[in-house]
Chains A and B, each alone.
Chain A
Amino acid sequence: MFGVWLRTEKIVSEEKQGTVMGKIEKDATSLGNLKPTMSPELIVQVKEGVSVKEMSYQEAIREALREEMLRDEKVFLLGEDIGKHGGAFGVTRTLFDQFGPERVRNTPISENTIAGTATGAALVGMRPVAEIMFVDFSGLAMDQIANQAAKLRFMTGGQCRVPWVIRMPQGGGAGKSTAAQHSQSLEVWYAHIPGLKVIHPSTPYDAKGLLKAAIRDDNPVIFLEHKFLYSFRGIVPEEEYVLPIGKCDVKRAGTDVTVVASGYMVWHAMLASQMLAQEGVDVEVVDVRTISPLDEETIGNSVRRTGRAVLVAEACRSYGPTGEWAAVAMEKAFGYLQAPIVRVTGRNSPVPFADSIENGVWPDTADVESAIREVMKY
């Protein structure tokens, strides 16, 4: 039932059949007032002259999986309903038909053993890519992820490596009404554990290049996909490319203020920057597309140049990512700061259901804009 929430518009048009159609169209329509403002032109990452194609964030993830499975027979997928059904969000759709039930392996609902199975298979030479349906469910897998996979190499003195990826959708979609157990942003759960790498891409280009890098990485990598971004479209190169893990990406260069953001919040940061540019405020947007290990240098260098920092994350405020980024900005650029650091974050609350109280639980463009105006007063 979850699969109907966030299908891309393209898939909607492909699926004009069956009784769910009306609901999908309705859902897609309900996003209408938000989507047009986030046009792909806001973030352009491919150089002139490179042969390109347009695809959604969801398609980019699927293409990364397909390419890596074709490249390396040790790569296989496992997770709940990822087979013919294609996963709760349709990400693995078509891969089952192409690669079959051995390499696109449906599992029972057993999150801890999905993660543990990935670890065991990785220890004997496979390169598993597991899907956990929602990051909210990953609490069930926490022992295998945080106590086992993350620590095995260390506590065995380097005798082994655990080259897996666990993909998990996270975040809320504005107006999606998915309430408290299907909407969280939990990147800091994993970023707090040494031994794990944590990636959260904001664009189709980043999603594809970083997922390919994650699959080739010899460490356990948590790959967090933003549910609301699945339908976002962008330009990616025709040719193969792999992006570096562990680096922030400057999505927009600027001189007056640094906005540090990740995932969907990057888009709010870009939109706010575009609006403020008309008033002569030159914003630099740093996308923390690898949450951990954190690229402290890029954040520090940017804040040293601009002297101002606004930090934007969808996760709850307390002990969230922005606390870490603020400490980095302070440690790396204290003497250069011209204004207090301002945080824009999710509310310290479980995500509510009803519109009236769901509204405002996550930051939006106006919140980022107002925070930038705040630091520009100094």
Chain B
Amino acid sequence: MDIPRDTLLEMYRRMVRIREFELAAIDLFKRGQVKGAVHPYIGQEASGVGVCMALRGDDLIAGTHRSHGHNIAKGADPKKMMAEILGKETGYCKGRGGSMHIAAFDTGSLGALAVVGSGIPIAVGAALGFKMQGQDRVAVPFTGDAGINTGNWHEGLNMASIWDLPVVFVLENNHYGVSTNIEYSVNIKDLSIRANSYGIPGVRVDGFDVTAVYEAAVEAVERARSGKGPTLLVTESYRFEGHYAGEPEVYRDKKEVMEYRKKDPIPRFRTYLIEKKIADTGVLEGIDSDIKQQIADAVQFAKDSPQPDPSTAMDYIYV
């Protein structure tokens, strides 16, 4: 597939933006300025960006507790995201949601839903709504590998398949559900074969390779948009950080992490862009430095913003 230069550079921008955002979030968390928890997406950037770059602005994604990356990949504003994880009124959710519940409806993110697998039925419903209203939009629920064993998964893939709904189910295999390795949780090696149970295509792709993810996603999205039904897309990836920032990671060997870090999708994509003469080092360094500034501005904006006024604590419970 011939991917346009602008698209490739935008992929690079979004991957770097996710990385820088997550590094800043981890830093703020360790300083005690972000409360609650931060679940970093570092290492998985190519998965979210490859998928979301294949979507239109009016397509919808549903995320998980680990969805900073999905939101940025779909085009969310890092300022409003950073303000949200600092619990500020200027955040996407006006400080009501925090890191685990960022939704950005203006860019087609209907929310990070932090109970594993729970975004699947909701995305299926959105796709049903699209179909019933004659719209050619697509819904994309992201799930980590552990989501594959939930009832949401089975029910959702089945329901979408019997009604040929426009859904691309993205399963990001980062190998761990908190501490439990996927090899323990399932009795299969290739997670995409579960698609067979629902009579839909199952595609497995290198989740460190953004162009490979993009190409697979374009095909699945096209299938969904043209009314041919859902696809399961498994991106083989890895979570470089712990389950949450500061998590002790007693369940995995540091050597394993170091091996996977060699597959880091961002340097790999840089090399690709340079080798294919899409951009030279100067252009890419320019992008890096712009994004670093953008994230620094986002942090400042978030810090300078007010928390919600206590008098508004009961807002948004009912319409």
CB of A249 to closest CB in B, whole Å: 21
- Whole-angstrom distance from the CB of A120 to the nearest CB of chain B? 2
Q: Which B residues are in CB contact (< 8 Å) with A124?
A: 60, 125-126, 129-130, 133, 137
Chain B min CB distance to A298 (Å): 19
**A121 close to B105 (CB less than 8 A):** no
- Within 8 Å by CB of B111, from A118, A156, A158, A219, lies A156
Contacting residues, chain A, for B133 (C-beta < 8 A): 124-126
Set B91, B120, B317: member contacting A154, Cβ < 8 A: B317
Q: Does A119 contact B (CB under 8 A)?
A: yes
B115 touching A147, Cβ below 8 Å? yes
Q: How far is the CA of A173 from the CA of B97 in the complex (A)?
A: 43
Stretch at the interface among B149-157, B176-184, B199-207, B215-223: B149-157
A113 close to B121 (CB less than 8 A): yes
Name the one of B91, B128, B137, B156 contacting A121, with C-beta atoms under 8 angstroms. Answer: B128
Q: Do A158 and B126 touch (CB < 8 A)?
A: no
Given contacts A120-B125, A143-B115, contact A195 B317 (CB under 8 A): yes
- A197: nearest residue on chain B (CB-CB)? B318
Taking a contact as CB atoms under 8 Å apart, the answer to whether B93 and A116 are in contact is no
Closest residue of A by beta carbon distance from B101: A155
**B2 contacts A by Cβ under 8 Å:** no
Cβ–Cβ contact B132 & A102, under 8 A: yes
CB distance from A336 to the nearest CB of B (A): 29
Tell yes or no: A290 within 8 A of B by CB: no
- Give the residues in chain B near A115, CB-CB below 8 Å: 121
The answer, among A156, A197, A219, for a CB contact under 8 Å with B103, is A156
CB neighbours of B316 from chain A (8 A): 153-154, 156-158
A112 to B139, CA, bound (A): 18
Contacts of A157 in B (CB 8 A): 91-97, 316
Q: How far is the CB of B78 from chain A (nearest CB, A)?
A: 17
Q: Flag if B93 contacts A155 (CB, 8 Å).
A: yes
How far apart are the CA atoms of A119 and B35 in the complex, in Å?
29
Which one, B95, B97, B113, B130, contacts A148 given CB within 8 A? Answer: B113
Distance from A82 Cβ to chain B, minimum over Cβ atoms (Å): 15
Size class of B's contact patch? 35 or more
Residue pair B158, A116 in contact (C-beta under 8 Å)? no
Closest residue of chain B to A76 (Cβ to Cβ) is: B132
Q: Which of A128, A144, A293 has the most CB of B within 10 A?
A: A144
Cα–Cα distance between A161 and B97 once the two chains are bound (Å): 15
**Does B296 reach chain A (CB closer than 8 Å)?**
no
CB distance from A144 to the nearest CB of B (A): 6
In angstroms, Cα B139 to Cα A116, docked, is 14
| Neighbour of A116 across the interface among B96, B101, B124, CB < 8 A | B124
For the complex, give the distance between the alpha carbons of A180 and B207 in Å: 48
A121 touches B97 (CB 8 A): no
Asked if A120 and B123 sit within 8 Å, CB to CB, the answer is: yes
Q: A123 near B95 (CB under 8 angstroms)?
A: no
Those of A319-343 within 8 Å (CB) of chain B:
none
Check A117–B159 contact: CB distance below 8 A. yes
Residue of A nearest to B94 (CB): A157
Which residues does chain B contribute within 8 Å of A159, judged by CB atoms? 92-93, 103, 105
Contact A112 B317 (CB under 8 A): no
Query: Are B155 and A119 in contact, with the CB atoms below 8 A?
Result: no
Closest Cβ of chain B: how far from A132's Cβ, in Å?
13
- Give complex CA distance A110, B151 in Å: 9
Q: Please name all residues of chain A whose beta carbon is closer than 8 Å to the beta carbon of B139 when the two chains form the complex.
A: 120
Residue in A closest to B315 when the chains form the complex, CB atoms: A158
- Chain A residues lying within 8 Å of B76, measured Cβ to Cβ, are none
Which of A116, A128, A160 counts the most B-chain CB atoms under 10 A from its CB?
A116
Which of B121, B124, B128, B319 is most buried by chain A, counting CB atoms within 10 A of its CB?
A: B121
A107 close to chain B: CB less than 8 A: yes
Q: A194 in the interface, Cβ–Cβ < 8 Å? A: yes
A122 beta carbon closer than 8 Å to chain B: yes
Chain A residues within 8 Å of B151, by CB: 112, 140
Known: A143-B118, A154-B96, A156-B97. A126 touches B103 (CB 8 A): no
Inter-chain CA distance A154–B96, complex, in Å, is 7
Chain B residues, Cβ within 8 Å of A107: 159
Contacts of B132 in A (CB 8 A): 76, 102, 121, 126
Asked if B49 CB lies within 8 Å of chain A CBs, one says no
Kindly list chain B residues whose C-beta atoms are within 8 Å of the C-beta of A147: 115, 118
Q: Is B162 an interface residue (CB 8 A)?
A: yes
Minimum distance in angstroms from B62 CB to a CB of chain A: 8
Q: Which residues of A contact B124 (CB under 8 A)?
A: 113, 116-117, 120
Q: Is A280 an interface residue (CB 8 A)?
A: no
Answer whether residue A32 sits at the interface, using C-beta atoms and an 8 A cutoff. no
Given contacts A112-B121, A116-B125, contact A152 B91 (CB under 8 A): no
Whether A148 contacts B122 by the Cβ 8 Å rule is: yes
A108 and B158: CB pair below 8 A?
yes
Q: Which residues of B contact A113 (CB under 8 A)?
A: 120-121, 124, 152, 155-156, 158-159
Residues of A within 8 A of B156 (CB): 113, 116
Complex-state Cα separation, A116 to B158, whole angstroms: 13
B55 at the interface (CB under 8 A from A): no
Which residue in B105, B125, B127, B318 is a CB contact (below 8 Å) of A118?
B125
The reply to whether A120 and B118 contact each other, CB–CB distance below 8 Å, is: no
Question: Which residues of A127-174 have CB atoms within 8 Å of chain B's CB atoms?
Answer: 128, 140, 143-144, 147-148, 152-161
Give 26 A-B contacts (CB < 8 Å), ordered by A residue.
Answer: A102-B132, A110-B159, A112-B121, A112-B155, A113-B124, A113-B158, A115-B121, A116-B118, A116-B120, A119-B122, A120-B123, A120-B126, A120-B129, A121-B129, A123-B122, A124-B60, A126-B132, A140-B151, A152-B111, A156-B92, A156-B96, A157-B93, A157-B95, A159-B105, A217-B319, A219-B319
Given A113-B159, A160-B103, A161-B319, 14 further pairs, Cβ under 8 A: A102-B132, A113-B121, A113-B155, A113-B158, A117-B122, A120-B129, A120-B139, A121-B125, A125-B133, A153-B319, A154-B317, A156-B103, A159-B92, A194-B317
Listed in ascending order, the chain A residues whose CB lies under 8 Å from chain B are 76, 102, 107-108, 110, 112-113, 115-126, 128, 140, 143-144, 147-148, 152-161, 194-195, 197, 217-219, 293
For the complex of A and B, list the 4 residue pairs with the smallest distance between their C-beta atoms, beginning with the closest: A120-B125, A116-B121, A157-B94, A113-B155
